[in-house]
Amino acid sequence: MKTIFDKETRDELITRIQTLNQNSVPQWGKMNIYQMLKHCTLCEEMYLGKTVYPRQFIGRIFGKIALKNLTKDDAPMGKNAPTNRSFKVQQIAGNVLDERDKWITLIGEYGNYNQPEFVHWFFGKMTKEQVGCLAYKHTDHHLRQFNS
């Protein structure tokens, strides 16, 4: 399975991210390009341990099952996947290129990932392998959303 911890995979994602610009339009969903970029930087900061979000009750019930289904194979994430309100960006405009560059920098940081234990707000405790798979799938999901 693809993982964000693989350098070649990170390089491929960075190349795809670099194709995004102010004129990028979504193939589905409600986010514009700036909102998607900001959403992704917020998520990377969480996976990298820079921010922590409390567990959600519904995740305590369904999180492990959902994580197992999401990380069992290379199938991409489905369109319009739900997210925590903390990751829903309300601001509709901002500097797209700056946010894109910030995302690229965060993707590069996975080369030095050292979180011994990660707890996701929905999925709960995750192994490094699960984090790598989920971070890749999330990034790929949004790049596909914007045809990159």
Check which CATH number belongs to the domain holding 53 and give it.
Answer: 1.20.120
Q: Does the structure show a pLDDT above 90 at 53?
A: yes
Q: Measured between alpha carbons, how far is 142 from 41 in angstroms, rounded to an integer?
A: 12
The pLDDT tens digits for 97-141 are: 999 999 999 999 999 998 888 999 999 999 999 999 999 999 999
Q: Does 2 reside within a domain?
A: no
Tell me how many domains the chain contains: 1
Q: 42, 9, 35: which is closest to 20 by C-alpha? A: 35
* Cα Rg, the chain, nearest whole Å: 14
pTM surpassing 0.85?
Answer: yes
Q: Does 24 reside within a domain?
A: yes
Q: Does 45 reside within a domain?
A: yes
**Under DSSP, is residue 140 helix (H, G, I), strand (E, B) or coil?**
helix
Q: Does the structure show a pLDDT above 90 at 81?
A: no
Q: Measured between alpha carbons, how far is 54 from 49 in angstroms, rounded to an integer?
A: 13
